[in-house]
């Protein structure tokens, strides 16, 4: 498969280290693209729920693939989210083409784009982190149960379902939170003079235009790699939401190559690093 050349790719809410993470699908996607800039917009590694007993090889291969992109000259920005907030102590660290930041501003074809995860708008995150962590465990359990149910539905040749999406659609407070999140992000971006504001956090892929008396902004959200399997792609002066489709990938896109981290002149034991940070 020929790699698609893109100017900017944004992914968020991968949650490596959790049972719900769709690392295999993300790996296929990363192998199919050649971006100039890759923005990892928070919650890529789930340090909240990190366990010494669960960090599969496919999850490690995602990290290796990202490192390979860096070695090939791709600019990679890792923006911290709430599930990897412990990395904020290392903010502004730069290593070759890799940079760790809390937020990012890029100029794209003369227009300013503002990137950040979005957890700053979450009241629960600001005042009741224990409740947010409990909710994260509940969400991961729901996804695990959903995976089993969908496995059975596939055997029965019936359509899959999303428990999470049904819950969000049923509870008005969830819909209100998403709307308020988007409105707040857009209003702040207009006040700051940005043309684009790019977030993650709420696992809801979106591309919407907002207008008020002060100006206009395009709000974008990259979704997640647990349920939606989406990213944002910028090329030829326009943004698109990309959604992973299984039938677009052949068996040739499986990650059967071995990438030696020594090509980056570094040796990293990712699990040990995460164990140290999570303590």
pLDDT tens-digit map of 237-260: 999 999 999 878 765 555 454 444
The CATH code of domain 4-122+166-278 reads: 3.60.21.10
- Supply the mean pLDDT for the chain: 81
Contacts of 267 (CB under 8 A, 6+ apart): 261
CB 201 within 8 A of CB 126: no
Q: Report pLDDT for 268.
A: 52
Q: Which residue has the higher pLDDT, 250 or 67?
A: 67
Stretch 19-24: mean pLDDT = 91
54 pLDDT band, cuts 50/70/90, is confident
Stretch 39-60: mean pLDDT = 85
Stretch 263-270: mean pLDDT = 49
Q: Which residue has the higher pLDDT, 251 or 9?
A: 9
Residue 236 pLDDT > 60: yes
Q: Report pLDDT for 82.
A: 87
Find the angle CA(64)-CA(46)-CA(35) to the nearest 5 degrees: 40
Query: CA-CA distance, 104 to 115, in Å (whole number)?
Result: 5
Q: Which long-range contacts (CB under 8 A, 24 or more apart) does 63-69 make?
A: 63/16, 63/270, 64/259, 64/261, 65/27, 65/30, 65/31, 65/255, 65/259, 66/30, 66/38, 66/40, 67/259, 67/261, 67/264, 68/259, 68/263, 69/30, 69/35, 69/38
Q: Report pLDDT for 259.
A: 47
180 pLDDT band, cuts 50/70/90, is confident
Residue 261 pLDDT > 50: no
Interval 128-168: pLDDT, tens: 444 445 455 555 655 666 665 665 767 777 777 665 665 55
Q: Which residue has the higher pLDDT, 141 or 44?
A: 44
Query: CA-CA distance, 176 to 61, in Å (whole number)?
Result: 37
Q: Which residue has the higher pLDDT, 125 or 152?
A: 152
Q: Which residue has the higher pLDDT, 82 or 160?
A: 82
Q: Report pLDDT for 205.
A: 95
Residue 213 pLDDT > 70: yes
Query: CA-CA distance, 234 to 9, in Å (whole number)?
Result: 6
169 pLDDT band, cuts 50/70/90, is low
DSSP per position, 34-95: EEEEEEEES-SB-STT-BTTB--HHHHHHHHHHHHHHHTT-EEEEE--STTGGGGGGTT-EE
First-to-last alpha carbon distance for the chain, in angstroms, is 42
Residue 76 pLDDT > 90: yes
Stretch 108-116: mean pLDDT = 97
Residue 44 pLDDT > 50: yes
Q: Report pLDDT for 83.
A: 84
């Amino acid at each position: 498969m020929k790699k698609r050349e893109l100017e900017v790719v944004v992914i968020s809410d991968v949650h490596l280290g959790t049972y719900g993470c769709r690392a295999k699908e993300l790996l296929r996607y990363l192998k199919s693209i050649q971006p100039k800039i890759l923005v990892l917009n928070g919650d890529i590694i789930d340090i909240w729920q990190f366990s010494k007993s669960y960090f599969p090889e496919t999850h490690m291969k995602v990290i290796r693939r990202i490192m390979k992109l860096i070695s090939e000259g791709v600019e990679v920005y890792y923006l911290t989210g709430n599930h990897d907030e412990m990395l904020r102590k290392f903010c502004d660290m730069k290593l070759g083409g890799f940079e760790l930041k809390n937020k990012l501003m890029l100029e794209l074809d003369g227009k300013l784009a503002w990137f950040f995860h979005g957890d700053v708008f979450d009241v629960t995150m600001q005042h009741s982190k224990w409740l947010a962590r409990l909710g994260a465990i509940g969400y991961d359990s729901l996804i695990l149960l959903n995976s089993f149910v969908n496995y059975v539905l596939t055997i029965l040749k019936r359509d899959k379902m999303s428990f999470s999406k049904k819950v969000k659609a049923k509870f008005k407070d969830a819909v209100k939170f998403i709307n308020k999140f988007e409105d707040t992000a857009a209003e702040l971006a207009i006040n700051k003079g940005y043309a684009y504001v790019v977030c993650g956090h709420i696992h809801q892929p979106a591309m919407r235009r907002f207008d008020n008396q002060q100006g206009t902004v395009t709000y974008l959200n990259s979704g997640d790699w647990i349920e939606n399997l989406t990213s944002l792609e910028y090329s030829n002066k326009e943004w698109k939401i990309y959604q992973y489709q299984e039938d677009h990938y052949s068996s040739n896109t499986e990650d059967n190559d071995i990438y030696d981290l020594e090509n980056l002149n570094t040796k990293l034991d990712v699990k040990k690093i995460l164990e140290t940070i999570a303590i």
